[in-house]
Amino acid sequence: MNCLVRILLPFMLISSNLYSQNNLSLSSPSGNFAFSFILQDGVPSYQLSFKNLPVIEDSKLGLVAGSVDFSRNLTLKNFETSSFNETWEPVWGEVKEILNNYNELRVTLQTNDSKPKHFSVVFRLFDDGLGFRYEFPQQEHLSYFTVLNEITQFTLTANHIAFWIPGDFDSNEYIYTKSRIDEINTNSGHEYNEISLKTIPDSDVVQTPLMLKSDTGLYINIHEAALVNFPVMQLNVDKQNFVLSSLLVPDAVGVKAHLQTPCKSPWRTILVSDDARDILASKTILNLNDPSKIEDPSWIKPQKYIGIWWELHIGKSSWNYADISNIKLENIDYDTVKSNGRHGATTERTKYYIDFASEHGFDGVLIEGWNTGWEDWYGNWKEEVFDFVTPYPDFDLEYLADYAASKNVKLIMHHETSGSVTNYERRLEAAFNLMKKFGYETVKTGYVGRIIPRGEHHDGQWMTDHFIRVVEKAAQYKIMVNSHESSRPTGLHRTYPNWLSSEAARGNEFNAWSKGNPPSHETILPFTRLMGGPMDYTPGIFKLKLNQYKKDENFSVKTTLCKQLALYVTMYSPLQMAADLPENYLLFPDAFNFIKDVAVDWDDTKILFAEPGEYLAIARKAKNLDDWFVGAITAEKEKSLIIDLDFLTPGINYEATIYTDKKHASYLGTADAYGITKRVVTSTDNISFRMVPGGGAAISLKPVK
Ligand code: NOJ
Ligand code: CA
């Protein structure tokens, strides 16, 4: 390309052949980000700066596709720029309207051989960060190919603080470590024995979303958007040079992805701000996903649910019906075998939950352990475990369907696959047909254990495709999905709004049977796991000391009761569980009111205070109402906050109900000590409170009638 200088508003594009370098620049709509693409001696790279401060220094781009190296020896074929500005409405979400505004640069690069192949790198620069992906159009000399490696780098400017979990091809249920980049070592100083299935590739690999903080006060978040037909990206850490590079999860034959043109990679995302609140408010990951594929989403409903669940995790009852071992599942005659007397999902117990849901206004009841197979479900890498259609003899599917319908409660189906995904796919239609027959509109899926097809990983391309096959099939049946042990989300709930929530991180369940989640955990998750989408964290535990269930003294939920309330606001999901046993809620009826009141779908969200690993306060406006809910949480340290109520509609009186930790409360001691005060307030008032170690506060604000 000839020496050329063009100034186009809002882009500045400079291209020059001096030293065989091409340099293309782009700025974000407000001009706070500057981006350059560089092709130097055939090697593509990029740089990013925010408010004139470098964020990403020269970092390589490209992929190795079979024998074709799309990261070197390339020439610039052409480039295009464009701008985009639209506002769209999510089916459900944290806000009513989302602005999607970016400047785009599309660079097409070509190999230098006798059969040239080309691909494009598409960069979208928003006012809160950058997304880019690789696109391989249909072309003469490139059809099928395998991805052997992705070359993408993120070269950081210094030894930032990182909030990380170990790279792992099968699990993301880890506690976060906060350390400098050069201190990352996933092998030493950590006990990971609570993770049942671990596939840690190397001591220098971490997962995304990765949250970083620079000493200059920049917050940087690295993740991906629209993970479709591609493996999960994890990050290899070069601790000397602070270079993170893409490590794609391999498949059973050691390849990263099998592709055919036309095809594209997911977006790689870098969000940046000097205010941590902007990271949480960012909609860039959603914007990089395709619009909803579901034309009529009227059947998709945000919901609050209870379920036969926590009692299983604390060992009060069991998933399995009988205590038998050493017998093949297909040889068990459930009609003659004796119940162990502890089976949780009985008709009677389910009725009790349905009655409770109906009385207290919950939409759904989840029942785990309703179906045969739990006697030998885990650890043996078995193909045939569950059939997803046969109930245990003490669970009357038909009667309970009628009973739930008579009480206006929806039952939530549970499909634990035990990792045998081939088996699940074979039986999926039958399972969904059964659900529809008995009025179940939501399914919770689970993938505990090693994957079948054997050799595949939870985070590989095959499983990415599986998770999407399930939500697409579910959409055909008008079924909503909550997936556990799936790969962490990348904003696909925009495209498939029936994918209501997923777990894909260390949830509250770990507090039931492991050393638990430290108080900082819930202040880090919004900056990491939740950047990709809602989490089914299952909050709402009121009986926090688990020795009340004859468990060891050490077992406890490491929060105060008020913090459990606040999590309904700080841990965003359109599907929220009240996870404790119904009888425990009756012990704290006034605190329970907050869980009953709190909304699950929102018109607006204000991130009031945020610092990863320390504290968080969020206010949200309930959908189609003028009710606001505030959740505030702290980590190990106590924290006082003053909440300005300027988000309220001016001139209206609101009744504020304020749930706060008692002075002497602490996650280590009296965790369930709280107080409730009521006040009439307006938008010019403020509310101040103190959160104790591991504590929180919750506030509801409703117009006075
Ligand atoms: C792990 C899931 O996260 C949990 O919610 C479920 O109860 C168990 N697997 C059993 O399926
Ligand atoms: Ca889990």
CA–CA separation, 153 and 351 (whole Å): 54
Question: Tokens for 418?
Answer: 């035990």
Question: For 1-50, what is each residue's pLDDT tens digit?
Answer: 222 223 343 444 444 444 467 899 999 999 999 999 999 999 999 999 99
Closest-lying ligand to the alpha carbon of 367? 1
Nearest CA to ligand 1 atom 7: 309
Question: Tokens for 536?
Answer: 């089914």
Q: What pLDDT sits at residue 16?
A: 44
Mutate to test the pocket of ligand 1, among 197, 319, 413, 416 (most ligand atoms within 8 A of CB): 416
- Ligand 2 centroid to 384 CA: how many Å? 21
- Ligand 1 centroid to 151 CA: how many Å? 36
Chain-centroid distance of CA 191 in Å reads 23
CB-ligand 1 contact for 509 (6 Å cutoff): yes
State the pLDDT confidence band at 424, using cuts at 50, 70 and 90: very high
Beta strand segments in 357-439, E:
364-367, 410-416
- Ligand 1 centroid to 386 CA: how many Å? 14
DSSP-derived 3-state class of residue 192: coil
* Percent of the chain surpassing pLDDT 90: 93
Q: Are 506 and 517 in contact (CB under 8 A)?
A: yes
Beta strand segments in 129-198, E:
129-136, 144-150, 153-156, 161-164, 177-180
Q: Estimate the crossing angle of helix 461-476 against helix 421-437, to 10 degrees.
A: 10
Q: Which residues contact residue 427 at a Cβ distance below 8 angstroms, ignoring those fewer than 6 apart? A: 387, 388, 389
Q: Which residues contact residue 118 at a Cβ distance below 8 angstroms, ignoring those fewer than 6 apart? A: 77, 108, 109, 110, 111, 137, 139, 142
Cα Rg of the chain (Å, integer): 26
Chain-centroid distance of CA 550 in Å reads 33
CA–CA separation, 173 and 166 (whole Å): 10
* Percent of the chain surpassing pLDDT 70: 97
Tell me the average pLDDT across 66-70.
Answer: 96
Question: For 300-330, what is each residue's pLDDT tens digit?
Answer: 999 999 999 999 999 999 999 999 988 899 9
Closest-lying ligand to the alpha carbon of 307? 1
Mutate to test the pocket of ligand 1, among 366, 368, 386, 424 (most ligand atoms within 8 A of CB): 368
CB-ligand 1 contact for 416 (6 Å cutoff): yes
CB-ligand 1 contact for 503 (6 Å cutoff): yes
Q: What pLDDT sits at residue 271?
A: 99
Q: How many other CB atoms are found less than 10 A from the CB of residue 85?
A: 10
Q: Which helix (H) or strand (E) holds 260?
A: strand 257-260
Q: What pLDDT sits at residue 531?
A: 98
DSSP-derived 3-state class of residue 164: strand
Nearest CA to ligand 1 atom 10: 416
Q: Are 102 and 32 in contact (CB under 8 A)?
A: no
Tell me the average pLDDT across 683-689.
Answer: 98
CB-ligand 1 contact for 368 (6 Å cutoff): yes
Domains and CATH numbers, the chain: 3-287 (2.70.98.10)
Atom of ligand 1 nearest to the CA of 309: 7
Chain-centroid distance of CA 642 in Å reads 29
Nearest CA to ligand 1 atom 11: 416
CB-ligand 1 contact for 460 (6 Å cutoff): no
Question: For 86-116, what is each residue's pLDDT tens digit?
Answer: 999 999 999 999 999 999 999 999 999 999 9
Question: Tokens for 440?
Answer: 């179940």
Nearest CA to ligand 1 atom 6: 446
Atom of ligand 1 nearest to the CA of 312: 7
CB-ligand 1 contact for 536 (6 Å cutoff): no
Tell me the average pLDDT across 185-201.
Answer: 82
Atom of ligand 1 nearest to the CA of 319: 10
Q: What pLDDT sits at residue 552?
A: 75
Question: For 137-191, what is each residue's pLDDT tens digit?
Answer: 999 999 999 999 999 999 999 999 999 999 999 999 999 999 999 999 998 656 6
- Tell whether omega for the bond before 209 is within 30 degrees of 0, i.e. cis: yes
Nearest CA to ligand 1 atom 2: 484
Atom of ligand 1 nearest to the CA of 414: 11
Mutate to test the pocket of ligand 1, among 197, 458, 484, 577 (most ligand atoms within 8 A of CB): 484
- Ligand 2 centroid to 260 CA: how many Å? 34
Closest-lying ligand to the alpha carbon of 485? 2
Phi, psi of 175 (to 5 degrees): -80, 145
Atom of ligand 1 nearest to the CA of 368: 7
Q: What pLDDT sits at residue 194?
A: 85
Q: What pLDDT sits at residue 325?
A: 87
Q: What pLDDT sits at residue 189?
A: 57
Tokens 């909503």 found at = 480
3-state secondary structure 588-629: CHHHHHHHHHCCCCEEEEEEEEEECCCEEEEEEEECCCCCEE
CA–CA separation, 99 and 89 (whole Å): 9
Is 90 exceeded by the pLDDT of residue 193?
no
**How many Cα atoms sit within 13 Å of 106 on the Cβ side?**
10
Q: Which helix (H) or strand (E) holds 397?
A: helix 397-406
Q: What pLDDT sits at residue 188?
A: 67
- Ligand 1 centroid to 446 CA: how many Å? 6
CA–CA separation, 566 and 564 (whole Å): 6
Predicted TM-score (pTM) of this structure: 0.96
CB-ligand 1 contact for 484 (6 Å cutoff): yes
Closest-lying ligand to the alpha carbon of 418? 1
CB-ligand 1 contact for 446 (6 Å cutoff): yes
Nearest CA to ligand 1 atom 3: 484
CA–CA separation, 387 and 649 (whole Å): 53
Question: For 531-557, what is each residue's pLDDT tens digit?
Answer: 999 999 999 999 999 888 877 777 899
Tell me the average pLDDT across 216-240.
Answer: 98
Closest-lying ligand to the alpha carbon of 448? 1
Chain-centroid distance of CA 189 in Å reads 26
> Measuring CA to CA, which residue among 124, 164, 108 is closest to residue 33?
124
C-alpha distances (whole Å) from 624 to each of 577, 604, 627 are 22, 10, 9
Q: Which helix (H) or strand (E) holds 487?
A: none
Q: Which of 14-28, 331-345, 605-619, 642-656 has the lowest mean pLDDT?
A: 14-28
Question: Tokens for 465?
Answer: 């495709």
Q: Are 485 and 503 in contact (CB under 8 A)?
A: yes
Q: What pLDDT sits at residue 108?
A: 98
Count of all residues that appear for the chain in the document: 705
Tokens 């569950």 found at = 386
- Ligand 1 centroid to 414 CA: how many Å? 9
Q: Are 666 and 692 in contact (CB under 8 A)?
A: yes
Is 80 exceeded by the pLDDT of residue 686?
yes
- Ligand 1 centroid to 657 CA: how many Å? 34
What average pLDDT is seen over the chain? 95
Catalytic residues, which ones? Answer: 509
